[in-house]
């Protein structure tokens, strides 16, 4: 029992660290926040297909990333919740072929534009922000996530015992 807990916490911690690192990379390229967002780290939501440890790992990683990139408190809270919802949804839909990619895309496309309007008071419409965030999520979760899933499927028995 102890060994499983250590593995669970270790996997979650590694996923959180990867999320932070990839968000900082996106941030350095000016892609991690505001209306145009392509967070490479969001591709990691697909890890919930392999292990439930990804769910808390992604949430903590997003929380830390938002704090480290200087997000306002409402973005830290609701942006992290959007990633948590997406990760849980991916875990619940893990047995389907296409559906696991949808929860993070949908949750971020719904929640993040509201944060941009109300927390940052950015000029623009909800529809515009939903479009820009949605496209970024499709690229991150849909395209990069699908590539990551394909690569990891071959090695899942070694990585996610």
* CB neighbours of residue 110 within 10 Å: 15
Q: Residue 153 domain-assigned?
A: yes
Residue 68: inside a domain, yes or no? yes
Q: Does the pLDDT value for residue 155 go beyond 70?
A: yes
Cβ partners under 8 Å of residue 160, min gap 6? 11, 50, 51, 152
pLDDT computed for residue 36 by the predictor: 79
Q: Please report the pLDDT score of residue 32 as a whole number.
A: 80
d(CA 128, CA 35): 8
Q: Which residues of 62-71 are buried (b: 16+ CB within 10 A; e: fewer)?
A: bbbbbeebeb
Least confident window among 34-43, 44-53, 75-84: 34-43
Residue 106 lies in a domain: yes
Q: Return the pLDDT at 57.
A: 98
Instruction: Indicate whether 1 pLDDT > 80.
Output: no
Q: If you count them, how many residues does the chain have?
A: 161
pLDDT of residue 37: 86
Residue 7 lies in a domain: yes
As a whole number, the mean pLDDT across the chain is: 94
Whose tokens are 């990891």? That residue is 152
34 domain-assigned: no
Output the pLDDT for position 33.
Answer: 77
In the chain, how many domains are there?
Answer: 1
Q: Cβ contacts of residue 151 below 8 Å, gap of 6+?
A: none
Q: How many CB atoms lie within 10 A of CB 159?
A: 12
| Separation of alpha carbons 60 and 67, rounded Å | 11
- Summarize pLDDT for 133-149 with one digit per residue, the tens: 999 999 999 999 999 99
- Residue 43 confidence (pLDDT) above 80: yes
Which domain covers residue 47, as residue numbers? 2-29+39-159
Q: Is the pLDDT of residue 160 over 90?
A: no
Would residue 73 count as lying in a domain? yes
Is the pLDDT confidence value at 102 over 90? yes
């Amino acid at each position: 029992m102890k060994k499983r807990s250590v593995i669970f916490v270790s996997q979650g911690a590694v996923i959180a660290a990867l999320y932070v690192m990839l968000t900082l990379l996106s941030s350095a390229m000016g892609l991690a926040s505001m209306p145009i967002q392509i967070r490479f780290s969001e591709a990691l939501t697909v890890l919930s297909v392999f292990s439930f440890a990804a769910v808390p790992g992604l949430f903590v990683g997003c929380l830390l990333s938002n704090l480290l990139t200087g997000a306002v408190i409402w973005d830290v809270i609701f942006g992290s919740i959007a990633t948590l919802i997406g990760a849980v949804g991916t875990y619940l839909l893990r047995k389907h072929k296409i559906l696991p990619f949808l929860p993070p895309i949908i949750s971020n496309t719904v929640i993040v534009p509201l944060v941009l309007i109300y927390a940052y008071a950015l000029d623009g419409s909800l529809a515009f922000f939903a479009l820009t965030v949605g496209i970024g999520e499709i690229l991150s979760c849909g395209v990069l996530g699908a590539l990551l899933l394909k690569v990891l499927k071959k090695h899942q028995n070694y990585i996610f015992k």
